[in-house]
Each structure stands twice: as structure tokens, then as C-alpha cells.
């Protein structure tokens, strides 16, 4: 299984790892079957994601997609972050092997879960804005 240089770089030197104390939104998605679990923390100021961190338990591709996803939404508006697709994450990483595509889906879902949590904490129903965020076991991995 060949990984791009960008995947290897984000795996070896992941960006934005850790937790945010007093985060405005926390999203956790994962799949007990394949073992990949992502937790994403966001800090929001005037609808802009000013900081984002993640903790991922999983394979190198899961770590790399989490890292790249955080880079792609940092400094962006919530609306822009919600438009980030797993395809865009994969393209930014110069591709993923087919069996690892589910990792990019998890990264997209982790962002949506964190934004959903952000709205819930403010007493706003997130579903009309974010859509339905699957909790787990829907990433399509083979696990």
C-alpha cells in the first residue's frame, strides 16, 4: 500500500494534535470495528474557527486525514468548514489507497460532530445546519 509524501508527512508530523480546554465544540466519531476513533475540538469566535485540535486513535491514514482536515478548517467560517468533504481532504493529501478512504470520511464526520456540539451548547438544533451526523459504524470501512 503506497502513501503519498503528504500523507507520510502528516502522519509523521501531525498538525494541531491535542485538546482544547474549554472548547466550544467537541466531536467524537469512530468505528469500533476498524478501530479508528477521532475526537475533534473547536474554538469559535464570531462564527470563525479560531483553533482546532484533534486526538485520533487509529492507523497512519486516520492520523494524516485528521491533521489535514484541521489545517483545512482553521481560520475558516463554520459554513466553510461544513463544506469540507472527505474528497477535498483526500485531494489535499494527494490521494489515499481505496481501503483507507473511510479515514477521510471519519475526518469529515468529526468536524460535523464538533460543529453540531457547538450549536447544541448554544441551544440551537444543529440538524438543519449540519445535517444528520452518524455517531458510529457508518464510515464504510471493511473492519
Q: Tell me, what CATH number does 43's domain have?
A: 3.90.1010.10
Residue 141 forms part of a structural domain: no
- Identify the pLDDT of residue 33: 73
Residue 136 designated active-site: no
DSSP states of 93-128 as a string?
TT---GGGHHHHHHHHHHHHHHHHHHHHHTT---HH
Contact 27, 119 (CB under 8 A): no
Contact 44, 118 (CB under 8 A): yes
pLDDT string in tens for the chain (143-residue length): 789 999 999 999 999 999 999 999 999 998 777 688 999 999 999 999 999 999 999 999 999 999 999 999 999 999 999 999 999 999 999 999 999 998 999 999 999 999 999 999 999 999 999 988 765 545 555 54
The 10 Å CB-count burial string (b at 16+, else e) for 30-69 is bbeebebbbbbbbbbeeeebebbbbebebbbbbbbbbbbb
User: Could you tell me the pTM of the whole model?
Assistant: 0.92
Beta bridge partners of 27: 40
Q: What's the number of domains the chain is made of?
A: 1
Residue 59 designated active-site: no
Residue 27 forms part of a structural domain: yes
Residue listed under C-alpha cell 498538525: 15
Residue 81 forms part of a structural domain: yes
Catalytic residue (one of 59, 103, 136, 139): 103
Residue 132 forms part of a structural domain: no
- Identify the pLDDT of residue 135: 57
Residue 98 forms part of a structural domain: yes
Residue 101 forms part of a structural domain: yes
Q: Which domain holds residue 54?
A: 3-122
Amino acid at each position: 500500500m503506497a502513501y503519498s509524501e503528504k500523507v507520510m508527512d502528516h502522519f509523521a508530523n501531525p498538525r494541531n494534535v491535542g485538546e482544547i480546554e474549554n472548547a466550544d465544540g467537541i466531536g467524537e466519531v469512530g468505528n469500533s470495528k476498524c478501530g479508528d476513533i477521532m475526537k475533534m475540538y473547536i474554538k469559535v469566535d464570531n462564527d470563525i474557527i479560531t483553533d482546532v485540535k484533534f486526538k485520533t486513535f487509529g492507523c497512519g491514514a486516520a492520523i494524516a486525514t485528521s491533521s489535514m482536515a484541521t489545517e483545512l478548517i482553521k481560520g475558516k467560517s463554520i459554513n466553510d468548514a461544513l463544506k469540507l468533504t472527505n474528497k477535498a481532504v483526500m485531494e489535499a493529501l494527494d490521494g489515499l489507497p481505496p481501503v483507507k478512504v473511510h479515514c477521510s470520511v471519519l475526518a469529515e464526520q468529526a468536524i460535523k460532530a464538533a460543529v453540531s456540539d457547538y450549536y447544541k451548547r448554544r441551544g440551537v438544533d444543529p440538524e438543519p445546519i449540519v445535517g444528520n451526523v452518524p455517531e458510529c459504524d457508518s464510515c464504510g470501512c471493511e473492519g
